Amino acid sequence: MPYAWPKWLPLPVVATTLGVAAVVMGMRQLGLLQPSELSLYDFYVQLQPARDPDSRILTVLVTEQDIQAQKTWPLPDATLADLLTRLNAASPRVIGLDIFRDLPQPPGHAALQNMIRVNPRIIPVCKSMGETAEQPEVPPPPSIPLEQVPERVGFADIPLDNDGVIRRNLFAISNPRAQRCTTPFSFALMVALRYLDQEPTQTIKLDDKGLTLNGVHFPLLTSDAGGYVGVDDRGMQTLLKYRSRTAVGPTVSLTDVLTGRISEDLIRDRVVLIGVSAPSIKDTFLTPYSGSDAVTQQMPGVVVHGQMVSQFLSAALDGEGPIWYWPLPLVLGWILLWAGVGSALGWWLRQPLWLGIAVAGGLVILFGSGFGIFVMASGWIPVMPPAIALVLSNAVMVGYVGYQAQQERKSFQAKVQEQEKALALLRSLMAEDTAALNAALREPTEITGKPRSLLSGRYKIQKVLGSGGFSRTYLAQDTQRPGNPLCVVKHLRPGRTDERFMQVARRLFNTEAEILEKLGRHDQIPLLLAYVEENQEFYLVQEFIEGQSLSQELKQKYTEAQALQLLREILEVLSFVHSHYVIHRDIKPDNIIRRASDRKLVLIDFGAVKQIQPQEVAKTQGSTVVIGTMGYAPPEQLSGQPTLSSDVYAVGMIALQALTGIKPRDLPRDSRTGEVDWQRCVTVSEGLAAVLNKMVKFNFSDRYPSAKEALQDVRRLGTPASSVLGIIL
């Protein structure tokens, strides 16, 4: 059995989704979207709520004022020795010295090196050898033996992204080229581990899968983490979880410590980090907080190391996990999902306002969820690629739908033109010499009885719903659908049987059926289920609309509000019909049904196909066959030349009947102009009177050209809320 494509999943939606998703995925994998994704990441960091300072970390900064006070740079070894002595006397857990001391800076070199050598709580830094000659190795202090370097020293290397911003935390490397800076651990991790050594029951594990601190695991950063594409993921890295935009914890200056202006309680049992913040030394970096002010909003290197130390301590002691991200397959699936959302919205929502609201809502959900997940769950999910996929797929689908609609309108116009040609040919045949065609005329007998009990082998006739001289409407059952649902069968008998007439009638019937099939997509027009020709007679099978005709409602007069609401309802569906250049030709209360299920008005019984049979109106118009109902049909329609404004006239006459309680053919007319003089019968507001007068003008060129323009003016008048409640039920 051949596979049937599911109707709920339109093929254009699938094709657009896959195509746009592939394009966006390709753009992402080429790195074209990385800058925007990283900028959004920085924006999240800037907007996240400020966290409390980390009281476990004290930062001692060498400021520009400190350098001026010392009158030299680099600082003499004696100054650093004095600083370390004072700090060590206050019993900190660990002292991190983020100032290179590989070369002597007399005086005091021996004293400083001796203090570093004998004091295990002091963690100095070195710089690992880079890949080029421009990135030389900076050794640790010479007083630390080479074999002790991995246990006593941390490397100060910080990974920079292509835009110079620090977003990653490199905590372990393997560098076999190193000669003196042989430590595998970063300065921040070494400081954090030394601090944690004095914590009870600490579980620390470092293997090829990452770092685990007291059950909090830091998986290894991948090259495609979050919004990254091909980022340098060598060594062991994690995303840096910033604590604040300035200091991590309490901060003092070098002079504050040397002059004894700080309390020992600020130092005791803490991490003390020593580094430089003086702009002249240029040990500052761009961070996500820098934003557009990249010149002044830079963070000293020692503060960056402090952010890293705080991240490790918060994980081990507070249970804070790292920033997580999705693996690449999930990221690509996420892009595919939003491409599908954009395509589906473009396919199902055809009204521009609602489509714009839906797409904007999707973007709000996407960006809002990205920020919410980052702040509340420490997760970095891609936002820019799916956002582009959403907008692009929607734009492509809207373009496709617009193109298809344009092509369909052209096709529809062609059908309408074909219908008009058939009607013109039919009129010309009817205008021929009647005497010469007597032999071809049917006997003027009405349709009697029922057609075959099972029309087309499928539709079982139940009862007669209505009849006219050469047509009859039946209620039938569809025996080939589950539950045998009801449908309406319209039986049309051509007025002549000569070959030329039947060819034109058949052509008109088929064209009318194709038009009705497309119009039936509207919720307030019955679906055309089938059209059948048997024994030179024609049958239209349409959806059965359960409800009562508007004729029943018009037995009582309407208030102005009710009439205005009625106009609005009819014109809304008629506007759809006119947008396809189709003239209904027989708008009257009997052809408008208020559906029982939702109380909406449904427009039935389009009139062009009726011209294949003689009509009552024709008896008063000579040999010209026309369609319409006296009173509702305007003059040009009665002369066989209907326009879109002819339908507008009929709607206006229905509204006048509702307001006055008088049938249109009985309304008074001005004998000089032919205009309907209805305002003698009822008084309404000037606005409504102007609209109705324009709708029922005798000359079609003075009327609204189509239902759309009439509907616009009706909407401007407004519809009082009470009118809905006042509609006659």
Over residues 310-340, the pLDDT tens digits come to 999 999 999 999 999 999 999 999 999 999 9
Among residues 498, 529, 544, the one where a domain terminates is: 544
254 and 162 both lie in a single domain: yes
Choice among 126-135, 468-477, 668-677 with the minimum mean pLDDT: 126-135
User: In which band, very low, low, confident or very high, does the pLDDT at 423 lie, cut at 50, 70 and 90?
Assistant: confident
pLDDT for position 393: 97
pLDDT for position 722: 40
Whole-angstrom distance, CA of residue 313 vs CA of residue 659: 82
Query: Chain-centre distance of CA 445, in angstroms?
Result: 61
Residue 622 belongs to a domain: yes
The SS3 call for residue 282 is coil
63 and 115 both lie in a single domain: yes
374 and 292 both lie in a single domain: no
**Count of helix runs (H) and strand runs (E) in the chain:** 20, 24
- Could you give the C-alpha distances from 671 to 668, 677, 698, in angstroms and in order? 9, 10, 12
Among residues 479, 511, 544, the one where a domain terminates is: 544
pLDDT for position 729: 41
631 and 577 both lie in a single domain: yes
> Whole domain around residue 186: which residue ranges?
55-203+237-319
pLDDT for position 205: 94
516, 543 contact by CB (below 8 A): no
| Angle, alpha carbons 685-690-693 (nearest 5°) | 120
Nearest-CA neighbor of 681 among 667, 664, 697?
667
581 and 496 both lie in a single domain: no
Among residues 386, 404, 422, the one where a domain terminates is: 404
Q: Is the pLDDT of residue 170 over 70?
A: yes
Nearest-CA neighbor of 592 among 645, 557, 547, 539?
547
488, 466 contact by CB (below 8 A): no
Residue 216 belongs to a domain: no
Which H/E stretch holds residue 500? Answer: helix 499-519
Please identify every residue annotated as catalytic. 586
Residue 38 belongs to a domain: no
Strand positions, DSSP E, 544-672: 547-549, 592-595, 601-603
pLDDT digits (tens, 9 = 90+) for 714-725: 999 975 444 443
Edge-to-edge strand ranges of the sheet holding 454-455: 454-455, 459-468, 471-478, 486-492, 537-543, 528-534
Residue 36 belongs to a domain: no
540 and 551 both lie in a single domain: no
Whole-angstrom distance, CA of residue 195 vs CA of residue 451: 97
Whole-angstrom distance, CA of residue 55 vs CA of residue 63: 21
User: In which band, very low, low, confident or very high, does the pLDDT at 659 lie, cut at 50, 70 and 90?
Assistant: very high
**Averaged pLDDT, 281-302:** 85
Whole-angstrom distance, CA of residue 543 vs CA of residue 532: 15
- 372-402 b/e (C-beta count within 10 Å ≥ 16 → b): ebbeeeebbbbbbbbbbbbbbbbebbbebbe
pLDDT digits (tens, 9 = 90+) for 533-592: 888 888 889 999 999 999 999 999 999 999 999 999 999 999 999 988 888 989 999 999
Q: What is the DSSP letter of 444?
A: S
Q: Is the pLDDT of residue 594 over 50?
A: yes
622 and 708 both lie in a single domain: yes
**Averaged pLDDT, 279-306:** 87
User: In which band, very low, low, confident or very high, does the pLDDT at 178 lie, cut at 50, 70 and 90?
Assistant: confident
Tokens 């476990």 locate to 56
User: In which band, very low, low, confident or very high, does the pLDDT at 96 lie, cut at 50, 70 and 90?
Assistant: very high
262 and 303 both lie in a single domain: yes
156, 205 contact by CB (below 8 A): no
617 and 564 both lie in a single domain: yes
559 and 527 both lie in a single domain: no
Structure tokens at 77: 């070894």
User: In which band, very low, low, confident or very high, does the pLDDT at 510 lie, cut at 50, 70 and 90?
Assistant: confident
Nearest-CA neighbor of 427 among 629, 635, 641, 625?
625
Could you write out the DSSP letters of every residue in 353-365?
Answer: HHHHHHHHHHHHH
476, 541 contact by CB (below 8 A): yes
Whole-angstrom distance, CA of residue 38 vs CA of residue 382: 10
248, 272 contact by CB (below 8 A): no
> For residue 212, how many other CB atoms are within 10 A of its CB?
17
Whole-angstrom distance, CA of residue 464 vs CA of residue 370: 63
> What average pLDDT is seen over the chain?
88
User: In which band, very low, low, confident or very high, does the pLDDT at 134 lie, cut at 50, 70 and 90?
Assistant: low
Number of domain units in the chain? 4
In one-letter notation, the amino acid at residue 255 is T
pLDDT for position 671: 86
Strand positions, DSSP E, 297-343: 299-300, 324-325
Structure tokens at 124: 């100095």
Q: Is the pLDDT of residue 623 over 50?
A: no
Which H/E stretch holds residue 642? Answer: none
pLDDT for position 617: 41
Whole-angstrom distance, CA of residue 51 vs CA of residue 301: 20
- Could you give the C-alpha distances from 425 to 121, 185, 418, 422, in angstroms and in order? 106, 94, 11, 5
Q: What percent of the chain has pLDDT over 70?
A: 89
Strands 57-62 and 154-155, bridge-based pairing:
unpaired
18 and 131 both lie in a single domain: no
Whole-angstrom distance, CA of residue 462 vs CA of residue 475: 5
Q: What is the DSSP letter of 599?
A: -
CA terminus-to-terminus distance, the chain? 50
pLDDT for position 626: 52
Backbone φ and ψ of 160, nearest 5°: -110, 140
**Averaged pLDDT, 69-94:** 96
286, 39 contact by CB (below 8 A): no
399 and 440 both lie in a single domain: no
Task: Please report, for the domain that includes residue 523, its CATH number.
Answer: 3.30.200.20
Nearest-CA neighbor of 99 among 277, 266, 316, 359?
277
Which H/E stretch holds residue 95? Answer: strand 94-97
Which are the contacts of 379, defined by CB distance < 8 A and separation ≥ 6? 323, 324, 325, 373
Residue 489 belongs to a domain: yes
**Averaged pLDDT, 461-473:** 77
Whole-angstrom distance, CA of residue 284 vs CA of residue 611: 88
pLDDT digits (tens, 9 = 90+) for 678-692: 999 999 999 999 999
Residue 123 belongs to a domain: yes
| Angle, alpha carbons 135-137-143 (nearest 5°) | 160
Query: Chain-centre distance of CA 214, in angstroms?
Result: 42
224, 230 contact by CB (below 8 A): yes
pLDDT for position 567: 96
Q: Is the pLDDT of residue 366 over 90?
A: yes
The SS3 call for residue 189 is helix
pLDDT for position 621: 40
pLDDT for position 132: 55
Whole-angstrom distance, CA of residue 696 vs CA of residue 700: 8
- Could you give the C-alpha distances from 632 to 414, 521, 573, 687, in angstroms and in order? 28, 26, 18, 22
Structure tokens at 202: 């600490």
pLDDT digits (tens, 9 = 90+) for 38-58: 999 999 999 998 889 999 999
User: In which band, very low, low, confident or very high, does the pLDDT at 293 lie, cut at 50, 70 and 90?
Assistant: low
pLDDT for position 445: 45
570, 654 contact by CB (below 8 A): yes
Top-confidence range, 199-203, 486-490, 646-650: 646-650
pLDDT for position 625: 46
Structure tokens at 589: 């209360």
pLDDT for position 465: 85
